[in-house]
């Protein structure tokens, strides 16, 4: 192919990840309410493993289309084309933050939520390190590097089934108080956690009968306007620090 066509092909390889990420982010709200927090995180390991297989075998099959398809699936489900301690971005990133925050006791909630950013930073560093010519960034080994996102997907697929679903989801969305109490005891031990459960029950009463807000509803709601502006500015600034 011509030099212009090669440039176009690699542009697709690089940018298609963001398209998958957009689709994954837009579907996170539906999946997290319809299936809970735990099941979508488990299901997304399947396309993550599929993306690793496609990219890992692309050279053997002589197909750059397999890399594009693998990157699209990787962006959709959140598997990085680098080693990550957790499978994080797009669909899984959104649901993971909800799951981690809702499973953590109140005094540790902020700290637990920050682990997502920490894991992302560590994953990017490890990815850059593995991509060095002295490691996997050579002609014979780059398919292994492209398939490295299968490792965190496998870890999560094997370990997550032993964890309960989010107590808040079980109580507020599923109306399963017994399941909520059981999940709380499994996560936090056998102490007295009725204060946290009472808070969730109070929240359940407050939002009873209310519909989930759409993106347009958020922009029209004055109660969350400053929070929305603040998050928008922070996320916009993240795009200017060179992380992409």
* pLDDT tens by residue, 68-121: 999 988 888 764 433 333 333 457 777 888 898 889 888 888 888 888 878 878
Is the pLDDT reported for residue 225 higher than 70?
yes
pLDDT of residue 214: 77
d(C-alpha 59, C-alpha 137), whole Å: 14
* Other Cβ atoms closer than 10 A to 21: 20
- CB-CB contact of 49 with 153 (8 Å): yes
pLDDT of residue 242: 67
d(C-alpha 243, C-alpha 164), whole Å: 33
* pLDDT tens by residue, 165-224: 999 899 888 888 889 989 999 998 887 788 888 888 888 788 776 777 777 888 888 888
pLDDT of residue 78: 63
């Amino acid at each position: 192919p011509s030099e212009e066509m090669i440039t176009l092909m690699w542009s697709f390889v690089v940018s298609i990840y963001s398209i998958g990420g957009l689709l994954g982010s837009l579907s996170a709200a539906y999946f997290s309410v319809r299936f809970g927090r735990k099941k979508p995180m488990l299901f997304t390991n399947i396309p993550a493993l599929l993306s690793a297989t496609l990219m890992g075998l692309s050279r053997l099959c002589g197909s750059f289309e397999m890399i594009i398809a693998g990157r699209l699936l990787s962006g959709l489900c959140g598997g990085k084309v680098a080693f990550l301690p957790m499978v994080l971005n797009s669909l899984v990133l959104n649901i993971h933050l909800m799951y981690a925050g809702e499973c953590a006791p109140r005094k540790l909630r902020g700290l637990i939520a920050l682990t997502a950013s920490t894991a992302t930073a560590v994953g990017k560093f490890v990815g850059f390190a593995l991509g060095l010519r002295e490691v996997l960034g050579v002609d014979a080994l780059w398919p292994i590097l492209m398939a490295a996102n299968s490792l965190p997907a496998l870890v999560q697929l094997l370990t997550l089934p032993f964890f309960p679903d989010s107590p808040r989801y079980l109580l507020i969305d599923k109306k399963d108080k017994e399941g909520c109490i059981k999940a709380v005891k499994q996560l936090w031990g056998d102490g007295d956690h009725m204060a946290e459960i009472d808070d969730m029950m109070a929240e359940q009463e407050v939002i009873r009968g209310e519909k989930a807000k759409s993106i347009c509803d958020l922009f029209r709601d004055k109660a969350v306007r400053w929070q929305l502006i603040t998050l928008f500015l922070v996320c916009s600034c993240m795009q200017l620090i060179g992380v992409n």
